[in-house]
Amino acid sequence: MSDGAFLSLRGLGKTYADRPAVSGLTLDVGRGEVLALLGPSGSGKTTTLRLLAGFETPDTGRIVVAGEDVTSVRPEARRFGMVFQHYALFPHLDVGANVAFGLALRGDALARRVAEVLAMVDLAGYERRAVGELSGGQQQRVALARSLAPEPRVLLLDEPLSNLDPSLRERTRKELRRAITRVGITTVFVTHEQEEAFDLGDRVAVLHAGRLEQVGTPDELYDAPATPFVARFVGRANAIAGERAGGAPGSVALVRPEALRFAADASAPLAGTVTERRFVGDRAYFVVEEADGTSFEVLAPHGAAAVGHAVRAVVERVLFWENGAR
């Protein structure tokens, strides 16, 4: 996608006190694409967003937007909108004044623009409401409206849902997706939650210790993880010794719980006792302990076995890396 890239990160690096926070990060984001940056805490997600926004200067690399190198351009002049984890709304100003804050418009033109962006985030008519009266999800959308108001070229969101109650998070996520789709803006969305990244990202970039492990669609990451780290981070996976899967020492083999199947056949290679069953919808995760004390997890119809049962299982699909310990 490098020819069609609207936003391009080229070998970005940033080191704090001898510890690289981001290294050699190269990524392209298409016009109107939503890219989710996914990684555990400390993997360099916020640093990447701050580099994009211009709040930090990279030690190496370049940032290009619509063909323009903005690496040394000051934050305001980049025309990037940013929504922080803490929405940083002004509690003493009403919704309209919060949204109007960064706009150079006056009078009717200002009121029109504020009304327009509030409608984009499904808050039409909320101008005179006090920020403190709104739910967390609504406040999050006010912050989104404020960042969209000056018509940014790129929208940057840093864990925008992490402050919400779990019960609100899924609904707010849907509302956020609807607003971003409606605006059609090129977006980089940071999260440490796989489900959020897969739900919101057209593509997902997985960061680990400041480096890009893989970028791809959710399906690509799940079905063909480039590294064992990605396999584990975007889903559940059982470790089986690489040698057991036919590899040389140092190889790594992982099996997703749904790639294991209970089998009555005495020749099924895995055998053990069910020690745990956890329901998920109509299926359940079964933890099976083998004679040597190791255990593995099988996803199967919830009635497939019960705790205490002796079971056997066959492996239907292995994720395999010849040299997984990198």
For residue 42, what are the CA distances in angstroms to 21, 97, 211?
8, 35, 11
Among 24, 30, 32, 42, binds ligand ADP (CB under 6 A): 42
Interaction with ligand ADP in 232-261: which residues (CB under 6 A)? none
If the CB atoms of residues 20 and 136 are measured against ligand ADP, the closer one turns out to be 20
Q: Is 46 in the site for Mg ion (CB under 5 A)?
A: yes
Say which entry of ligand ADP, Mg ion, none residue 47 contacts (CB below 5 to 8 A, set by partner kind). ligand ADP
Q: Is 23 in the site for Mg ion (CB under 5 A)?
A: no
Say which entry of Mg ion, ligand ADP, none residue 42 contacts (CB below 5 to 8 A, set by partner kind). ligand ADP
Say which entry of Mg ion, ligand ADP, none residue 101 contacts (CB below 5 to 8 A, set by partner kind). none
If the CB atoms of residues 147 and 238 are measured against Mg ion, the closer one turns out to be 147
Q: What angle do CA 179, 37, 150 make, to 5 degrees?
A: 40
Whether the CB-CB separation of 277 and 302 falls below 8 Å is answered with yes
Among residues 30, 34, 7, the alpha carbon closest in space to that of 202 is found at 34
Q: Is 47 in the site for Mg ion (CB under 5 A)?
A: no
HSE, CB side, 13 Å, CA atoms: give it for residue 127. 13
If the CB atoms of residues 17 and 291 are measured against ligand ADP, the closer one turns out to be 17
Report the DSSP beta bridge partners of residue 283. Answer: 280, 301
Among residues 59, 54, 50, 70, the alpha carbon closest in space to that of 14 is found at 59
Q: Go through the chain and tell me how many residues it has.
A: 326
d(CA 74, CA 68): 13
Report the DSSP beta bridge partners of residue 255. Answer: 238
Choices 43-51, 62-70, 239-247, 252-260; region in contact with ligand ADP by CB under 6 A: 43-51
Shortest Cβ distance from residue 43 to ligand ADP (Å)?
A: 4
Q: Is 23 in the site for ligand ADP (CB under 6 A)?
A: no
If the CB atoms of residues 14 and 141 are measured against ligand ADP, the closer one turns out to be 14
Shortest Cβ distance from residue 42 to ligand ADP (Å)?
A: 4
> Cβ atoms within 10 A of the Cβ of 102, count?
12
Interacting residues with ligand ADP (CB under 6 A): 16-17, 21, 39, 41-47
